[in-house]
Amino acid sequence: MTTLKKYNSTTSQWEVITVGAKGAPGIQNGTVAPTDTTTLWMDTADTASQVAVPAGGVAGQVLAKNSATDFATSWVDQPVVAGKNLVINGAFDFWQRGTSFSNPSNSGSSFTADRWQYVRDANQAGISISRQDAGLPGFQYCARLQRIAGDTGTNNFRFGTALETVNSIPLRGKQITISFYARAGANLSGGISIDVYSGTGTDQGTVWGEFTGNYNVAYLANQVVSSTWTRYTATGTVPVNATQLGVRLWRVGISGTAGVDDYVEVTGFQLEQNSAATTFSRAGGDIQGELAKCQRYYQKLTAPGGYLAVASGFASSGGLYMTRVLPVTMRVAPISIGYSGLSLYNQAGNSYVGLSSIFIDGGTNTQNEVGLNIAGGQSSGTFYRLQANSNTSAHFEINAEIY
């Protein structure tokens, strides 16, 4: 058995530290406990000041020095730091694909807010997902999960996000806590459930099916939601063989015909290695960091002024190839691209030529740049830019998501 000792500067002796016999439960070097029973005390010397652990605080808080006075401490929330929260875009700050989705596809590839997918059981329609103002201190936006007015479908639907394997493995055998805020519309039908689940596969999608070796790590079922923001939490321990984690919110117990306000709004999702929920922190630490984390999976270039230069290059007899250097290293080399409203601009001739198609060029496609194989009305030896021509709705998107 290990014996804990302290050095008494008054007597110049090491003394055994024992638990006080009365008064406040604590550690001291004598038999008379302090009279203050609201604090945990430890003597530093017979006649010197004492170290006090203040009463109060909530689960997840830490002690911090609050003044220049010796040993003065108070309970404070853990700092907001990048990496504490494993859920990317948990505050729904970024919606690169758009801010409103009516009856999104049930194919399992339906991303709405960045990193968040949706599916409804049996491919039932009647759902919209949209960004709304949160009206909650510390949060600008929330996601509204709504049955469209008049919908008579009663199937549950899921809204979730998957962690990469590389971010999941460090949590093996660790206790984790999921937390989030929710509030209900005036006509909400049913309630909500939340689960954090693990699997033994690699970079699998989250909402359409189950992970390989699926296991529920933390689960909170059939919660009634009020019209005021309320924080919900659940805690569990990650299996030691887990290679991936996912988070899913379910709308459950749906019944009747949807009214105009049959919705639940959610924000502030946080998954952390802890036994209790702490103050919300963005995965990236701040807005810029959060955007970079989102762009690891998906990037969309838009043309608010009508002109968007995507890439450029010289045409040859073998075709027209261009590369676009990416601002953020992606999860994997891009697996797909999408575009609209783009044309090929002949800089020397100050004219536009037709654009037939754009494909990913496997030979130059990496996590740091996307290679493009372009077909159109180009002429060999001519320099072209792939860009929008006075088209404010033009866009170019690069995708490396988990499905």
Q: pLDDT, tens digit, for every residue of 166-183?
A: 999 999 999 999 999 999
- Cα–Cα distance measured from residue 85 to residue 119, given in angstroms and rounded to the nearest whole number: 24
Distance between start and end Cα atoms, the chain: 52
> From CA 187, how far away is CA 103, in angstroms rounded?
19
How many Å apart are CA 218 and CA 152, to the nearest integer?
Answer: 31
With vertex at residue 220, the alpha carbon angle to CA 262 and CA 190, rounded to the nearest 5 degrees, is 20
The beta strand positions in 274-368, using DSSP E, are: 298-302, 309-316, 319-325, 336-340, 342-346, 351-353, 355-360
Higher-pLDDT residue of 403 and 80 is: 403
Instruction: Report the pLDDT value the prediction gives residue 187, as an integer from 0 to 100.
Output: 97
> What pLDDT was estimated at residue 26?
47
The angle subtended at Cα 329 by Cα 327 and Cα 334, nearest 5°, is 100
Per-residue pLDDT for 320 more than 90? yes
The answer to whether 399 and 355 are in contact (CB under 8 A) is: no
Q: What is the mean pLDDT of the chain?
A: 88
Provide φ and ψ at 236, rounded to 5°: -165, 180
Residue 285 has pLDDT above 50, yes or no: yes
Band (42; pLDDT cuts 50, 70, 90): low
User: Is 73:53 a contact under the CB 8 Å cutoff?
Assistant: yes
* pLDDT, greater one: 18 or 26: 18
List the structure tokens of 233: 């939490």
Q: How many CA atoms lie within 13 A of 379 on its CB side?
A: 9
Neighbours of 328 (CB within 10 A): 15
| Confidence category of residue 151, pLDDT binned at 50, 70, 90 | very high
What is the mean predicted confidence (pLDDT) over 218-237?
98
Tell me which of 19-28, 108-117, 154-163, 286-295 is least confident: 19-28
Instruction: Express each pLDDT in 50-101 by its tens digit.
Output: 455 677 776 666 777 777 776 677 777 666 778 999 999 999 999 999 999 9
Phi, psi at 232, each rounded to 5°? -115, 145
Task: Give the pLDDT score at 6.
Answer: 62
Is pLDDT of 18 > 70? no
- Looking at per-residue pLDDT, the higher value among 8 and 100 belongs to 100
Give the 3-state secondary structure percentages of the chain, helix then strand then coil, rounded to 5: 5, 45, 50
Residue 117: pLDDT band with limits 50, 70, 90? very high
Least-confidence region, from 56-70, 120-134, 300-314: 56-70
What mean pLDDT is predicted for residues 292-300?
Answer: 98
Which of these ranges, 75-79, 151-155, 266-270, has the smallest mean pLDDT? Answer: 75-79
Angle at CA 386, nearest 5°, toward 302 and 383? 155
d(CA 346, CA 34): 85
Locate 86 and state its tokens. 């494993």
In this prediction, residue 22 has a pLDDT band, given cuts at 50, 70 and 90, of very low
Q: What pLDDT, on the 0 to 100 scale, is given for residue 71?
A: 64
**Does 296 have pLDDT greater than 50?**
yes
User: What pLDDT score was predicted for residue 24?
Assistant: 44
Among 145, 137, 112, 118, smallest CA distance to 228 is for 137
Q: Say yes or no to pLDDT of 355 above 50.
A: yes
Q: How far apart are CA 192 and CA 135, in angstroms?
A: 21
pLDDT at position 315: 94
Residue 159: pLDDT band with limits 50, 70, 90 = very high
Mean pLDDT of 126-150: 97
Q: Which residue did the predictor score with more confidence, 138 or 37?
A: 138
Write down all domains in the chain, each with its CATH number in brackets: 5-76 (no CATH), 100-295 (2.60.120.260), 298-399 (2.60.40)
Q: Which of 320, 305, 389 is nearest to 350 (CA)?
A: 389
